[in-house]
Structure 1
Amino acid sequence: MRTYLTALVLLFASISAAQEVREESPAGLSSTAYRKAAEKAGTYWPNYKEGDTGTQVRVSFDARNADVVVVTEKSFGNERLLKVLQSLAQELDMPEGDFITYPTSEISTSVAVDLEMNDYLVFPDRWKTIFGLPVGKVIDFLKRNGLPQPIAIAIKGSEVDSAILSVNGKSTTIEDRSFFTSENLPEGATVQFSDTLSPSGYVVLGIVLLIVSGLVSMPFRIAKSITKNANKPKPEEIAQPTPEQIQEAYDKSKSSYWQVLFFLPVIALPLVIENPVGEKAARSMYFLAPKNFFLFVGMGLFAGLSTGFIAAHRAKKKSESLEQTSTREAEPKSEANSNPFKSMWPMFVAMLLMFGTLILVQNWPGFYRLNIPSWAMRTWTFGLIGLGLLGSGYLSWCQRRSNRKVLEPGDPWFEMTSQLAERAGVRLYRVVIVKNPAANAYANLIGEVGLTTGLIENLSPEEVEAILAHELGHHRLNDVRKGFLLSLLFLVAWFLFLNYPIEWLADKYQWSRGVRGLVRGPLVFFFLLPILQNLVLGKYSRKRELRADAFGAWLINDKERMIRALNKITHLNQSPSRLKPSDEVLRSHPSLLNRIKSLENLNLESFNPDTYSTEAK
C-alpha cells in the first residue's frame, strides 16, 4: 500500500513539473514594432518576408510574465526549434518552463516558439516582481545548437520599473528596446528585471467598468424611453410651453460647456499616461485584472450593445405600430422614415462579422493553417466596412427619399420660392418639402431649398416667405460654398496635424503605440473634433446667419416680419431666446436676442447685398 501511494505521489509530482506545450494564434507575434525600432537604432533585424536570414530572440518581462521568444527561418522546423528551447530550459535550470508554439502554413516564412518562465518569477511582496536571466548563456546555447546566423537579440524594458543589463561588471539601463547581436553579447551577460504594481490600478479598472456599463446601458435606456413614451396616454392637444417657461428651464440647466470640460482630459490623456504615475496605474490595471478580463469585457460590451440595439429597434417598431393603430386618420409612415434603427442594420451586421473574425484570428490557432493570404484578409476587412457603409447609406437614402417631396411648378410653395429666387438673383435647383415636425428650412450646396412640414403647418405664408428669403440669402452670399470649403480645410489641417506635429511630439516624448492610437482614434475624431470645429469655425458661422437674416429682411423689405418669423420658429422648436455665453460659443447659430438686435440695427435703405458680406461686423 505504501509503495502504491509513493508511486502515486511521484506520478502527480511529475505531472505538475511537466513542461506544458500549447499552441496559440500568432496574431500577437508581429515583428513590425521590432523592425522599426531596429531601423531607428541602426541594427540588423531579419525580415523573413523579404528573404532575410538569421534568428530573432525577443527577451521581455512584465509583472506577471517572463518570456524568451525565438523566431527563425521556416526551414529550421517548428518541432526542431521546440526541442532546442526545451533543452534550453533544462540548461537554465528551469525545467518547469512552458512553451507556446505557433501554427505555420504554406505561406508562412518563419517559425517561432515562446519559452515562458513565469513559474520562476520572484515575488518579494504582493506588488513587486523580480526576475534575472543569463541572456548571454541563452545566446551561446542557441549558437551551439545550430540556430541560423546571425542571431539578433532585442531586450524590452519599456513595461517595467527597471531593466539592467550587466556585461563584464558594467551595468546598462535598458529603457525601451535594446538590440544586440550574438557577437557583441558575451556569455556572462545577464539582465535583471524589476517591476512594482500600484493599487491605483484598481481605480482605473473601476473606471473602465463604469464606462463599459454606461455604454452597454445606453441603448437599453433608449429602448426604455421609447416604450415609456409609446405607452403614455396621448391627449388631443399637448400644451406648448410659453417662451418664458422655455427660457426658465434653460437657465436652470447646466451649460453645454461641460462638454469641453469633459473632453479636455482626452487631450491631456497622452501626457497623463506617459507620466510615470499614470503609466504605472494603467499598467497595473492590466495585470491586476483577472485572466482574460479584457477579452470578456470586449465580448460583453459588443453583446450588450448588440442586444440593446435590437431592443431599441423592436421598441421603436412597436411604438410605431401602436401610434398608427391609435391614429385613425393619420397618414401612414414608411418604415424607412419612422424607424432610424433600420438603416443601421447593415453596419451592425458588418461590425458583428468583423468582431467575429477578430475573435477567430486572435484565439483559434487553426485559422492560420487555412493558408489565407494577408491581402485576402485585408480585402475581407475593408470589404465588410465598405458593404456596411454602402448598405446603411442606401437605407438612409431611401429614408430621406421617403421623407421628401420634390415640388413641381404650379405648387404655391414652389412659386413663392421661385419668385424670391428671381428677385434675389439666385439660380434655384429645386424646392422640396421634408416630413419633419420641427419648424426649419435649409439651403444646400447644389442650390436646393428645403422646407419642413412643421414650418409650413405652423407659420403663416408671409412668415414662411421670410424664412425662405433667409435661406436664399445663404445662396446669394455664397455662405454654403464658403462654409463647406472651410470645413474641408479644417479637416485637411487636422489630418496634417496628426501626421506631422503629433508624430513629432510622439517621437520626441516616446509615446507608446496605445497613446498614438488614442490620439488618432474614434474618441477624438467623433467627440472632440466637432467641439473643436465649432470653437474654431463657430464665430464665422454665426456671422453668416446674421448676414442671411439681413439679406432676407432686405429681400422682403420687412424687418419686423423677419423678427416675427424667427421668434415663432424659436418658440415652436422650444429653444431659448437667450443663450449662455459658454453655450453660444459652441453653436453654429446665434441666439434669438442677438439676431433680433442685429436686425433692429439694420438700415434697409442703405443695405447693399454685394458689399454687406464684407462690411458686416
Structure 2
Amino acid sequence: MARTRFLKDTGLTARMTLVMFLIGAIFVGFIAILIALSGNNGGLALVIGVVGLGVVWFQWYKSDTLAMKAMRAREVSPEEAPELHGVIDRLCALADMPKPRVAISYTDLPNAFATGRSPSRAVVCVTTGLLDRLSAEEVEAVLAHELSHVAHRDVLVMTMASSAGIVAAMATRGAQYGAIFGGNRRSDNNGAPAWLIILVVSMVTYAISFVLTRLLSRYRELCADRSGAFLTGKPSALASALTKITGEIARIPNRDLRASQSMNAFFIAPAISGASFNTLTSTHPSLEQRLEQLAKIAAELGRPMDGGFPTQPGLGL
C-alpha cells in the first residue's frame, strides 16, 4: 500500500492477505497438476500458464484505458469540472497522495469507479447520473471511497487474484479439445483420458478461484468504505450515497444495466437490479452489511447516522 493517511484496517488486511495466499497456492498447484497430467506435452502446459499470465498483465497494464472505453468516459480538466476537481484536490491533500486523473462518463447510471495500474496512472471516474442525484457531501464520500482503492493499489491486487481463474479457464477450453493434451492418451493403464482429468481439475480450480476472488473483492469494498469514511469523518454521507445509488440503480432499465455489468467489479455499487448481493458470486457486500459497518464507524466517531447534510445534488454538470 502507498504511504497515505488512509486509516489501516488490520483485520480486513489480514483476511485479504489470507485469500491472496490461497489463490496463489491454488495457481501453483494447478500448474503443477497440469504439467504432471500433460506428460510429454508438459511444455504446452507451461505455455498456457505463460499466456494466461500475459493476459493478466495486459489487463492490469491497460486497466485505465479498457475501463474508460467500456464506460465511454473522458478525462476532464479543472476548467471543465472545477467543483469535481476541487473535491478531489481536498481529499488528496487530506490523504497525502498523488492526484489521479479525473474523468466523467456521460450516462444516467449513477456510479463511480477508480482504476489504473499505479497511483501515478490512476483515474477516478464518476457518471453524470451520480452527479445529478447526490449532494456535494455524498459525492465527496464516494470519491474518498474510490481514492482509497487507488491508495491500496486494488486494481493490482484484484488483477493478480484473477490470474488462477484466467489460466484455469484457458486450460478448460484447451481440454475440451482433447488432442491438445494428447488426444485419448490415458493418465495410467486403466485411468480416464488425461484431457478429461485436466478438464475436471481446471473447472474445479476455476470455481474455487472464482469464489475466493469474489470474497476478496467484498473485503476490498468494505476496506474502501471504512478508509473513505474515516478520511472524511462523515460515514453518514457515504451511507446516504450508497442507499441512493442502490435505489436509483433499481430504476435503470435492464438493457442499460447489462451494458455496464462488465464494470461491476470496479463500480462502487454493482449495476444489478432487484438482486441480493449477499451471495458467493457477488463482487460487493450487501448494502445492509455496508451500512452496518458505517454505523459502527459513526459510533466510533461520536457522530449520528441521521443525516445533517444537504439532500439536493451539489455537483451536477
TM range, smaller chain: 0.5 to 0.7
Shift of 1:564: 0.4
Shift of 1:588: 0.8
- Residue 84 of structure 2 is matched in structure 1 by 413
Shift of 1:478: 2.6
Using the alignment, how far apart are the partners of 1:592 and 1:556 within structure 2?
A: 20
SS of the aligned residue for 2:210 comes to helix
Matched, 1:601 2:306: no
Matched, 1:555 2:231: yes
The answer on whether the counterparts of 2:249 and 2:273 sit within 8 Å (CA) in structure 1 is: no
The answer to which structure, 1 or 2, has the higher relative contact order (CA under 8 A, 6+ apart) is 2
Q: Can you give the 5+ residue segments of structure 1 that lack an aligned partner in the other structure? A: 1-395, 607-617
- Is the strand fraction higher in 1 or 2? 1
SS of the aligned residue for 2:84 comes to helix
* Distance verdict in 2 for CA 1:486–1:548, change over 3 Å: same
Give CA deviations for 1:381-424 in whole Å, capped at 9, x if unaligned: xxxxxxxxxxxxxxx97x93993231112422122122212212
Structure 2 counterpart of 1:416, which letter?
V
Shift of 1:492: 4.5
Shift of 1:599: 1.3
SS of the aligned residue for 1:436 comes to coil
The answer on whether the counterparts of 2:233 and 2:301 sit within 8 Å (CA) in structure 1 is: no
Provide TM-score, normalisation by structure 2.
0.53
SS of the aligned residue for 1:507 comes to coil
Matched, 1:590 2:314: no
TM alignment of 1:143-222, pairs within 5 A: none
Using the alignment, how far apart are the partners of 2:158 and 2:90 within structure 1?
A: 26
Give CA deviations for 1:313-346 in whole Å, capped at 9, x if unaligned: xxxxxxxxxxxxxxxxxxxxxxxxxxxxxxxxxx
Shift of 1:543: 0.9
* Distance verdict in 2 for CA 1:414–1:597, change over 3 Å: same
* Distance verdict in 2 for CA 1:506–1:447, change over 3 Å: farther
- Residue 487 of structure 1 is matched in structure 2 by 162
TM alignment of 1:343-382, pairs within 5 A: none
Partner residue of 2:109 out of 424, 438, 443: 438
**Identity rate, percent:** 27
The answer on whether the counterparts of 1:535 and 1:585 sit within 8 Å (CA) in structure 2 is: yes
**What number of residue pairs does the alignment pair up?**
202
Shift of 1:556: 1.3
Shift of 1:517: 9.6
Matched, 1:511 2:206: no
Shift of 1:425: 2.4
The answer on whether the counterparts of 1:466 and 1:552 sit within 8 Å (CA) in structure 2 is: yes
The answer on whether the counterparts of 2:277 and 2:284 sit within 8 Å (CA) in structure 1 is: no
Structure 1 counterpart of 2:276, which letter?
L
Using the alignment, how far apart are the partners of 2:292 and 2:70 within structure 1?
A: 38
* Distance verdict in 2 for CA 1:552–1:578, change over 3 Å: farther
Using the alignment, how far apart are the partners of 1:532 and 1:541 within structure 2?
A: 14
Structure 1 counterpart of 2:155, which letter?
V
- Residue 579 of structure 1 is matched in structure 2 by 276
Shift of 1:580: 6.8
Deviating beyond 4 angstroms after TM superposition, the runs of 4 or more aligned structure 1 residues are: 492-500, 502-506, 515-521, 575-578, 603-606
Greater gyration radius: 1
SS of the aligned residue for 2:243 comes to helix
Using the alignment, how far apart are the partners of 2:145 and 2:170 within structure 1?
A: 34
Partner residue of 1:469 out of 129, 144, 151: 144
Structure 1 counterpart of 2:283, which letter?
S
Cα-Cα RMSD: 4.1
